[in-house]
Structure 1
Amino acid sequence: MLFLVRMDVHIPHEMPAERAAEIKAREKAYAQALQHDGRWRHLWRVVGEYANYSVFDVAGNDELHELLSQLPLFPCMTLQVTPLAQHPSAIA
């Protein structure tokens, strides 16, 4: 199943810079591992915001929830999840 996920990140201002850098490094490694295994199909930055749109290809709701909740930045995120279906006019 395909899901479009918007992730808005809100790192607390009181978080020490070193801690934030460590979390961001773990987030990058985790995101890249999921991209390499094909479950995180697309990752697009939202210009001018600390946010992204991503497309996940997973078995279902439970797998997506598990992947998202394991993101190191998950406690600092607001997420919007939209299930996707093939459009009848799409050529691909």
Structure 2
Amino acid sequence: MLFHVRMDVAIPHDLEPDERARLVATEKERALALQRAGTWVHLWRIVGQYSNISVFDVGSPDELHEILWSLPLFPFMTVQVTPLARHPSALVAGP
């Protein structure tokens, strides 16, 4: 199942710099691992914002929920999820 996910991140300004750096580094490691596994299919930055548009390929909505909740920056995110279906006029059949 494919899902379009928008993530807007708002890390508190008073978070200790070392904790912020640790969280951001851990988030990057997790994102890279999910991309290598083929779960996080696309990751696009939204210009001028601490936000991204992503496409996930997972087995179920519950699996996506668990992945999102496992992200180190999740407590500081606003997340919007949209399920996707193949369009009959699309040229490409893959994700």
What TM-score, normalized by structure 1, do the two folds share?
0.99
SS at 2:42's partner residue? strand
Kindly state the Cα deviation for residue 13 of structure 1 after the two structures are TM-superposed: 0.9
SS of the equivalent of 1:14 reads: coil
- 1:40 is matched with 40
Alignment partner, residue 24 of structure 1? 24
Task: Render the CA deviation track for 1:37-66: whole Å, top value 9, x for unaligned.
Answer: 000000000000000000000001000000
Partner SS, residue 18 of structure 2: helix
Q: Is residue 9 from structure 1 mapped to residue 14 from structure 2 by the alignment?
A: no
Unaligned runs of 5+ in 1: none
Question: How high is the TM-score relative to the length of structure 2?
Answer: 0.96
Displacement of 1:91 in angstroms is: 1.2
The one-letter code matched in structure 2 to 1:38 is G
Greater than 6 Å deviation, 4+ residue runs: none
1:6-32 deviation digits (Å, cap 9, x = unpaired): 000000011011110000000000000
Amino acid at match of 1:17: P
Unaligned stretches of 5+ residues in structure 2: none
| CA distance in 2: counterparts of 1:42 and 1:35, whole angstroms | 8
SS of structure 1 residue aligned to 2:20: helix
Distance in 1 (alpha carbons) for counterparts of 2:74 and 2:8: 10
* 1:68 counterpart SS class: helix
